[in-house]
Copies of this chain bind each other. A is one copy, B any other.
Amino acid sequence: MKLSNYFLPVLKETPADAEIISHKFMLRAGMISQSSSGIYSWLPLGLRVLKKIENIVREEQNAAGVNEILMPTIQPADIWKESGRYDDYGKEMLRINDRQDREMLYGPTNEEQVADIFRRSIKSYKELPSLLYHIQWKFRDELRPRFGVMRGREFLMKDAYSFDLDEDTSRVSYNKFFVCYLKTFERLGLRAIPIAAETGPIGGDMSHEFVIISETGESDIFYDKRILDLLDVDQELDYTKDLRSIVSSYQALYAAADDKYSKDEFEKKVPIEFQNNSKGIEVGHIFNFSTKYSEPMKANVLNSNGKAVSVHMGSYGIGISRLVGAIIEASHDENGIIWPEAVAPFTVGLVNLKSRDTEAIAVCENIYNTLNQAGIEVLYDDKDDSPGAKFSRMDLIGLPKQIIFGNNSLKDQMIEIKDRKTSHTEKVKISDLAGKLITSK
């Protein structure tokens, strides 16, 4: 993509109402534009990141054998009355009357909607387990939306739902998502820690939040450092196998957020050299709620004795738009964003500092075409701006690699590659560039 054709309205000043770093950088880097309080338009650069995260999440859901569906944003109130949540859910639910004065709502979550699909479609235990997910915009009418996409009103989530015959089989599904989430966050360039979470009246141990470490996190977490070394990234996951041992290895190590933290337990269970305490941002939540919704909504199957039984359900969420902000919170410096390669909007920024020189333009065009043909995603800054403006814009938008075509590049046929994260630079021959970038991938 050439910057001269790209819609990238970078801001020089930080907007006054942005309180946290990700919100500031997303506005300044032209990733989002506010529509109204807590509601944003995604501009091209931001949308590319959102789509990359979405695709990684999708690939890992598919790998775990979950079927993708897409439920609508507007739901009928009836199904929420069936489950009993219509009155309980407070003012965060955006309630709407349509022109026929039917009660509708903008879905804040989808347990009722998916249970309705399930009960219309599945009748026998033989068709279980059934695992469904969707990636859709949701709405929670926060009283004080803030922190940009970290706590917006309209937000993108992946939510998945499992349907099983009984508690034992629902644990198999639960473990699939547990492991799938570890893999997903790893691929996103994040280290996520699963933390035992509240189960309320449902009880049991099937509720975990996935939290990433960040100074600006909303909660305090206390954990055994060794938990960060458990996941073997390159491990091939076979979801048809028993995954209990992986899940148990996490459950064996202490990790708790402030709401469940006990100082005594922490100090007793974790050797002092492994005790760690940081701020964390919640990016995922998995929860088995047994027959809480299936019972009132009559989401039944016939079991092997021909008897109708309520299915056991679980739900599994990842905040996709929230992750864009969370990744920035976890990965930036004073000059801007530092994207992990997997979610970077482009891998390489090609900067032509001699943008009025026809010979330099020709060489840069050539580099640009070569990189594109090699399948490397390039944003080519072909604009006629000062070097200072070009450098600070490139640092702000945070592409992993910068390629600088400078004052001497024509003469010595060398070009500079700068790593955004380490600031390490090296000079390479222009003719070696594509090969260099491909092997370093």
A residues within 8 Å of B by Cβ? 5-7, 9, 30, 33, 35-37, 39-44, 47, 50, 65, 67-76, 78, 91-92, 94, 96, 98-99, 102, 104, 106, 113, 116-117, 120-122, 130, 132, 137, 139, 141, 143, 153-154
Contacts and interface: CB of A to CB of B under 8 A. Distances in A.
A360 to B, nearest CB: 21
A37 B102 CA distance: 10
A72 B154 CA distance: 7
Interface centre among A30, A74, A117 (most CB of B within 10 A): A74
A69 B99 contact: no
Contacts of A116: 35
26 contacts: A6-B67, A7-B121, A7-B132, A9-B122, A30-B121, A35-B71, A35-B74, A35-B75, A35-B76, A35-B116, A36-B76, A39-B72, A42-B70, A43-B117, A43-B121, A47-B68, A72-B137, A73-B154, A74-B94, A74-B153, A92-B99, A96-B96, A96-B106, A98-B141, A99-B141, A137-B137
B102 A36 contact: yes
A40 to B, nearest CB: 7
Contacts of A30: 121
Given A7-B132, A75-B36, A120-B33, A69 B94 contact: no
Contact of A96 (B9, B71, B94): B94
Given A7-B132, A39-B74, A94-B98, 14 more contacts: A5-B65, A5-B67, A7-B67, A30-B121, A35-B71, A35-B75, A36-B78, A43-B69, A43-B117, A43-B121, A44-B69, A72-B154, A73-B137, A74-B154
Contacts of A113: 35, 41
A17 B139 CA distance: 31
A129 to B, nearest CB: 10
A116 B153 CA distance: 19
A407 B139 CA distance: 54
A143 B99 contact: yes
A143 B47 CA distance: 34
A213 B99 CA distance: 33
A40 B72 contact: yes
A130 to B, nearest CB: 7
Given A96-B94, A143-B99, A72 B35 contact: yes
A333 B266 CA distance: 67
Contacts of A99: 91-92, 141, 143
Given A96-B96, A120-B33, A74 B106 contact: yes
Contacts of A75: 35-36
Contacts of A44: 67-69
A36 B104 contact: yes
Interface centre among A30, A98, A121, A130 (most CB of B within 10 A): A98
Contacts of A9: 120-122
